[in-house]
Structure 1
């Protein structure tokens, strides 16, 4: 059985880990400093609102891509990546999905060959 780990899949997987560690490092710092995380998100001014909006739009677009592309290439349980973003971070689940997508595409290519 071939494992289908392409170089691109590995890059995506590394990005997923960086996204998870990066976002949760800042979350841990906010908790350690006893910051009102939600209050800081909504009351720190236009810059934070801009970043929040930017990330929300990207997360929604990426979630749509996950759903549509997963169905197109026959990946099961795509909803877990979208739901997982609510529990961890989209910076983790999206690159993770990209890695799994690359594996699926490699598997499909090896069946066709």
Structure 2
């Protein structure tokens, strides 16, 4: 692993950990009935009970998370990285600001260990369906926030 790859790996990990800390200090207010209920109540507050600026940020993050998730799935398939959907679900259930840097760190490590460039790989049917459902959910949340 080159110095730059090593730096990027640790930078991504550190950024993800910091994002996790700074986002999850707000989570205990939602954890009454478990993580799924916490997510539902969080998004209700963000999209339905929120202010215009809160709605803007929530919709902005959702679209970023969608594009980041498409990129993560495509890159995992292209590079042969396992557990592509684990990163997507971590972004949905924990925080995209944690999951995306974690993915980038693992991607950087994988690329550094691959001596030959990897050609594009086709998506699996469940990748296309999963990303389509995720896209519809983001669009629905954006419409709700209106």
What's the TM-score bracket when you normalise by the shorter of the two chains?
0.7 to 0.9
Deviation string for 1:47-69 (max 9, x for gaps)? Answer: 11100000000000000000001
CA RMSD of aligned residues (A): 2.4
Give the match for residue 76 of structure 2: 70
2:97 pairs with 1:91: yes
Give the match for residue 8 of structure 2: 8
TM-score (norm 2): 0.64
Q: Could you say what secondary structure the match of 1:75 adopts?
A: coil
Q: In the aligned structure 1, how far is the partner of 2:75 from the partner of 2:23?
A: 26
Q: Could you say what secondary structure the match of 1:88 adopts?
A: helix
Q: In the aligned structure 1, how far is the partner of 2:71 from the partner of 2:19?
A: 19
Q: In the aligned structure 1, how far is the partner of 2:78 from the partner of 2:44?
A: 40
Larger RCO: Structure 1 or Structure 2 (Cα < 8 Å, ≥ 6 residues apart)?
1
Q: Could you say what secondary structure the match of 1:43 adopts?
A: coil
Among residues 58, 69, 90, which one is paired with 2:64 in the alignment?
A: 58
Deviation at 1:31, TM superposition (A): 4.6
The size of the alignment, in residue pairs, is: 105
Q: Structure 1 unaligned runs (5+)?
A: none
Give the match for residue 24 of structure 2: 24
Q: Could you say what secondary structure the match of 1:76 adopts?
A: coil
